[in-house]
Structure 1
Amino acid sequence: MAQETRATRALRGAGVAFTVHAYAYDPAADSIGLAAAAALGVEPGRVFKTLMVLADGKPACVLAPSDGEVALKRVAAALGAKSAAMMPPAEAERISGYKIGGISPFGQTRRLPAVIDASAAGWDAIFLNGGQRGLQVRLAPAAAQALLAARTAPVSTRA
């Protein structure tokens, strides 16, 4: 597996400290984030999933813990929108430039508004997709927030 992706190049180019963690990707997993956490041997709450949404019809990126559910009303509020909906998978791939299961918030084809769940601040480091299936990057949540110019808000509820 190549560990150099657009995401890792974006992180390196921005001078962000991170480590790369590969794992055996299971396409049949019910939850990619939970499967990644189990494979990496880390708490599911520190592995954040990258979700592509449409807020008032405009694309945005949401980072939320893999052991929670995203509340779309909270996402809309955080983005200053009236409503938010999950982006159809084909559109998410086209807009992000990544395949489902490998969507990273870093190195996307264009910069989008982003929201990171407030729970990220409770960790010294979180895991985010590294730009391909079976690849995670570990970095400080503040570094992710700064690089993405992400808003922080309580957008997820625990399962």
Structure 2
Amino acid sequence: MSIRKVTEYVKSFDETLEPIEFVEKTNTVEEAAKALGVQGAQIAKSILFKSGDSYGLFVTAGDIRINQKKVKQLLGSGKPKLASPDEVEEITGYQVGGVCPFALNKDVPIYLDQSMKRFDIVFTAAGTSHSALPITFDKLQEITKGHVIDTQTVE
């Protein structure tokens, strides 16, 4: 069901966007990169963080580690931590391994790491642990209305 939700959502912005489904699971950067035949950095990770009562979805290239101080700076008070699997599903509508930045259950800020700009195409999950959506960074930003940031630099 989730991949259909994502497909309908992204096609309302651009008819040419088409998720890819795999037989094997692609819920890690390594699994997705292997299935797609691309480098791991091209896999866009969508990670939900919580700080106090605030949530934010951070989308980065597969080879980037997110600086916790940057998360705190953007989400506010409280020590930032990864949202629990139950929180992830409640907020995003997707299970861990299939989280994508489209058609979320709840409105949360989306932060897009500039590290993805180095690729013509990145691959986000498409709502399941065995799917991917090839998309340009510009189209990703347009559809998500995400804030472009550098998740490794604290200002």
Q: Same fold (TM over 0.5)?
A: yes
2:112 paired with 1:116: yes
Q: 1:81 aligns with which of 76, 87, 106?
A: 76
Per-residue deviation, 1:16: 6.1
Cα distance in 1 for residues equivalent to 2:88 and 2:75: 21
State whether structure 2 residue 38 is matched by structure 1 residue 10. Answer: no
Contact 2:111-2:146 at 8 Å conserved across structures: yes
% same residue: 20
Q: Which amino acid aligns with 1:81?
A: G
| Distance (Å, rounded) in 1 between the aligned partners of 2:147 and 2:137 | 12
Mapping 1:22-33, distance limit 5 Å: 22-23=21-22, 24-25=24-25, 32-33=28-29
1:131 is displaced (CA, Å) by: 0.8
Aligned equivalent of 2:94: 98
CA distance in 2, matches of 1:149, 1:138: 17
The answer to whether the Cα contact below 8 Å between 1:50 and 1:63 also exists between their aligned partners in 2 is yes
Mind listing any 5+ residue stretches in structure 1 that lack a counterpart?
none
d(CA) in 2 for partners of 1:112 and 1:16? 25
Q: Distance in 2 between matches of 1:56 and 1:12?
A: 35
In the TM superposition, 1:12-91 aligns within 5 A as 12-15=11-14, 17-23=16-22, 24-25=24-25, 32-77=28-73, 79=74, 81-82=76-77, 83-91=79-87
Which ranges of 4 or more aligned residues in structure 1 deviate by more than 6 Å? none
Comparing 64-73 and 12-21, the one that deviates more:
12-21
Distance (Å, rounded) in 2 between the aligned partners of 1:49 and 1:103: 8
Q: CA RMSD in A?
A: 2.2
- Length-normalised TM-score, structure 1: 0.84
Structure-2-length-normalised TM-score? 0.86
- Give per-residue Cα distances to partners, 1:51-79, cap 9 Å, x unaligned: 111144211111012223221212333x2
- Count of aligned residue pairs for this structure pair: 151
Rounded to whole Å, the distance in 2 between the matches of 1:7 and 1:33 is: 20
Structure 2 unaligned regions, length at least 5? none
For residue 148 of structure 1, the aligned residue among 144, 151, 154 is: 144
Deviation at 1:8, TM superposition (A): 1.5
